């Protein structure tokens, strides 16, 4: 069983790596960012609350986020293990997660941190765009759709830039997340769960490194 956390600053490639991990290991992908974006699109109570933080690049309060994760992790489709992408992001969330995994009896097996320098992160985020229909992620520099103006995944033709990928917001997002990053890594380092991977490599090579870690764990 693999129950994995992917750590990494905004743009480190958590979503990109998750897709490849899901393809091979059939884990359930849980991205708090994706869940919030869906809630915002549906204008739910959580979505409206989250929007006021996300659009400025700030963190949604720990308790709101942890509740969302506990509900999701408690669902029956999570039998082959899970990837948490973007949660936890603070040591308070990491401690809340300890309680959640105990209550649900779904203990963590691995924590992988994707390390990318700030200059690359800014470049990646400013070049990212998304499919309006299915949310698939593209990049003007490294990942254009295979057929011009057509989503590889759903065939959609409309794309958009995430509100929080605009340059003013990116700066704050990086600052907010950088502050929490080292304490979070220390937390899992002490538990002997952490592996650090060079996220500057190609997506293929990043996955190869992750695969080496995970295949040792099966
Ligand atoms: P979230 O959606 O999780 O955003 P994030 O953490 O800022 O991470 P990103 O999704 O921007 O980046 P990623 O690492 O997935 O990179 P990707 O694979 O897309 O969260 C959004 C917001 O929600 C937060 O700011 C916060 O407000 C709130 N939130 C979420 N979780 C929360 C929590 N736990 N607590 C409180 N608030 C929370 O890649 C980026 C780009 O680079 C893409 O274009 C991709 O194609 C490209 N790329 C990826 N890998 C490579 C590579 N190896 N080489 C070249 N290009 C690459
Ligand atoms: Mg993501
Ligand atoms: Zn699509």
Distances from the Cα of 71 to the Cα of 75, 84, 91, 141, angstroms: 7, 13, 20, 37
Q: Work out the pLDDT band at 79, boundaries 50, 70, 90.
A: confident
Domain assignment of residue 149, yes or no = no
Determine the distance separating the centroid of ligand 1 and the alpha carbon of 10, expressed in angstroms: 4
Summarize the confidence of residues 82-106 as an average pLDDT. Answer: 97
Q: Domain residues for 85? A: 2-116+175-217
The number of the ligand 1 atom at minimal distance from the alpha carbon of 127 is 44
Cβ 52 vs Cβ 163: under 8 Å = no
- Look at residue 218 in the predicted model and tell me its pLDDT: 63
The yes-or-no verdict on residue 70 having pLDDT over 90 is: yes
87 Cβ closer than 6 Å to some ligand 1 atom: yes
Q: In what order do the strands lie in the sheet with 159-160?
A: 137-139, 128-131, 159-160
- Look at residue 146 in the predicted model and tell me its pLDDT: 97
The yes-or-no verdict on residue 216 having pLDDT over 80 is: yes
Domain assignment of residue 143, yes or no = no
Determine the distance separating the centroid of ligand 2 and the alpha carbon of 21, expressed in angstroms: 14
Residue 74 labeled ligand binder: no
Summarize the confidence of residues 193-214 as an average pLDDT. Answer: 98
Domain assignment of residue 43, yes or no = yes
Ligand nearest to the CA of 136: 3
What's the chain's length in residues? Answer: 218
Which pLDDT tens digit goes with each residue over 127-164? 999 999 999 999 999 999 999 999 999 999 999 999 99
- Look at residue 129 in the predicted model and tell me its pLDDT: 97
Mean pLDDT of the chain: 96
Domain assignment of residue 46, yes or no = yes
- Whether 185 sits among the annotated catalytic residues: the reply is no
**Ion ligand 2: protein residues whose beta carbon lies under 5 Å:** 15
| Nearest-angstrom CA–CA distance, 183 and 200 | 22
Domain assignment of residue 169, yes or no = no
Determine the distance separating the centroid of ligand 1 and the alpha carbon of 9, expressed in angstroms: 7
For residue 196, give the CATH number of its domain. Answer: 3.40.50.300
Residue 60 labeled ligand binder: yes
- Look at residue 217 in the predicted model and tell me its pLDDT: 77
Domain assignment of residue 123, yes or no = no
Domain assignment of residue 47, yes or no = yes
Domain assignment of residue 124, yes or no = no
Summarize the confidence of residues 182-208 as an average pLDDT. Answer: 97
**Structural domain count, the chain:** 1
Pairing of strands 82-85, 3-7: parallel
Catalytic residue among 56, 67, 89, 171: 89
Q: Taking the C-alpha atoms of 82, 18, 167 and 153 in order, what is their torsion angle to the nearest 10 degrees?
A: -120
Summarize the confidence of residues 111-122 as an average pLDDT. Answer: 97
């Amino acid at each position: 069983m693999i129950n994995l956390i992917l750590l990494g600053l905004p743009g480190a490639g958590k979503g990109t790596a998750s897709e490849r991990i899901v393809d091979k290991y059939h884990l359930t992908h849980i991205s708090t960012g994706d869940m919030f974006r869906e809630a915002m699109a549906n204008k739910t109570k959580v979505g409206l609350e989250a929007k006021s933080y996300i659009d400025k690049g700030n963190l949604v309060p720990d308790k709101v986020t942890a509740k969302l994760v506990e509900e999701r992790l408690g669902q029956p489709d999570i039998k082959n293990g899970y990837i948490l992408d973007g949660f936890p992001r603070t040591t308070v969330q990491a401690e809340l997660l300890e309680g959640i995994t105990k209550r649900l009896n779904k203990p963590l097996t691995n924590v992988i941190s994707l390390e990318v320098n700030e200059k690359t992160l800014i470049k990646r985020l400013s070049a990212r765009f998304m499919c309006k229909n299915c949310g698939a992620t593209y990049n003007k520099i490294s990942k254009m759709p295979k057929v011009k103006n057509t989503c590889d995944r759903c065939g959609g033709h409309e794309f958009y830039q995430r509100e929080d990928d605009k340059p003013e917001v990116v700066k704050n997002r990086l600052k907010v997340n950088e502050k929490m990053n080292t304490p979070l890594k220390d937390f899992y380092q002490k538990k002997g769960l952490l592996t650090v991977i060079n996220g500057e490599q190609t997506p293929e090579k990043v996955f190869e490194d992750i695969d080496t870690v995970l295949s040792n764990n099966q």
